Amino acid sequence: MSGSPAAGFALLPSRAREDERASPTALRRQGGAESMSRLVWRRFRRHRLALAGMAILLALSLFAFAVPLFVAEDAANRLVVTEILRPPSVAHPFGTDDVGRDIFLRSVFGGQVSLRIGFLAALLSVTIGIAVGAVAGYNLGWIDNTLMRFTDSLLSIPTLFILIVLTQVIGQSIAVITVVIGILSWMGVSRLVRANVLSLAQQDFVLAARAIGVGPGAILVRHILPNTLAPVVVAATLGVGQAIILEASLSFLGLGVQPPTATWGNMLYRAQSFLVTAPWIAFFPGMLILITVLCVNFVGDGLRDAFDPRAIR
């Protein structure tokens, strides 16, 4: 008899499969990805500052990573005693520093290091944050409590203080500073991911996947995490600017990447004694940090608006 409980239970797997096919992830796999990407791009294009910021970031990145292919780093570190403290000119567009090094070339090579630290540290922090947040949000109980209390304890300690201590203990190489910044920057991402996982875990398409026997790992990877990527992308974009600021702050204190390797931060550290007599030594690396971080924030704002589900179109 069709109205019997047995028949109702028999229909459960098919209904669960239908609900699973109707999930946002499944819809994107069935052909909605292209329309979704067009919608995001259309929203992002309306944000003029975000478009300008992306263009400037691409130009800075291209310049910082392309010029070293044609110019050796030794040219940026070459000491020319006859060119000490020269103001900006045709021969030296950004001027020279107190030992005759070309500030333009040092800004290029320093930008490569600063941008590399920013992007790689943000990538590492997002990876750790996604892993911790997903595990905590999907496994309520002692696992969630332990991970979140550990996260809260790290958030209560000033990041720059921990960064200074760890770099003095472990080392001050580019790789060490990148890893340390990444390890100290994942807490906000993990809380964001955990909140989204808690919300998505109660949605119908997740409950349907559980009903047909899909394992927890597959549910996380195939259904929950893809629907969490939008806010994570925004957080990762803003994390790039935060990592650049942290590296510049550390180097400005003389505790970051050490000379002769140039970064925008240690260029500012060396310029402290010449703020009045040779202001261009501090002006150009300082402006590059300001412009880069502003552009990153503009792009983050644009992505946030583009991924906003409350937007009409």
Over residues 72-129, the pLDDT tens digits come to: 888 888 888 888 899 999 989 999 998 899 999 999 999 999 999 999 999 999 999 9
Q: Is residue 3 part of a domain?
A: no
> Is residue 127 in some structural domain?
yes
Q: Which residues of 56-87 are buried (b: 16+ CB within 10 A; e: fewer)?
A: bbeebbeebeebbeeeebeebbeeeeebeebe
pLDDT of residue 11: 40
* Residues 121-156 pLDDT 10s: 999 999 999 999 988 888 878 888 999 999 998 888
The structure tokens listed for 266 are 């240690």
Is 6 inside a domain boundary?
no
| Per-residue pLDDT band at 233 (split at 50, 70, 90) | confident
Q: Which two tokens stand for residue 33?
A: 């990805």
Give the pLDDT confidence score for residue 157 in this predicted structure. 84
Question: What's the CA gap between 278 and 276, in Å, rounded?
Answer: 6
Token digits of residue 117? 């630290």
Q: What is the pTM of this model?
A: 0.80
Whether 19 maps to a domain, the answer reads no
Position 255 pLDDT exceeds 60: yes
Q: Higher confidence at residue 23 or residue 159?
A: 159
**How much is the pLDDT for 311?**
58
Q: Do residues 275 and 268 touch, judged by C-beta distance below 8 A?
A: no
Residue-level pLDDT at 110: 92
In a domain, 26, yes or no: no
Residue 9 covered by a domain: no
CATH code of the domain containing 136: 1.10.3720.10
Q: What is the pLDDT of residue 42?
A: 86
Give the pLDDT of residue 112: 92
Domain encompassing residue 244: 37-306
CA distance 166 to 203: 42
Of 154-158, 245-249, 282-286, which gets the smallest average pLDDT? 154-158
Q: Would you say residue 189 lies in a domain? A: yes
Count of structural domains, the chain:
1
Whether the predicted pLDDT of 284 surpasses 60: yes
Is the residue at 78 inside a domain?
A: yes
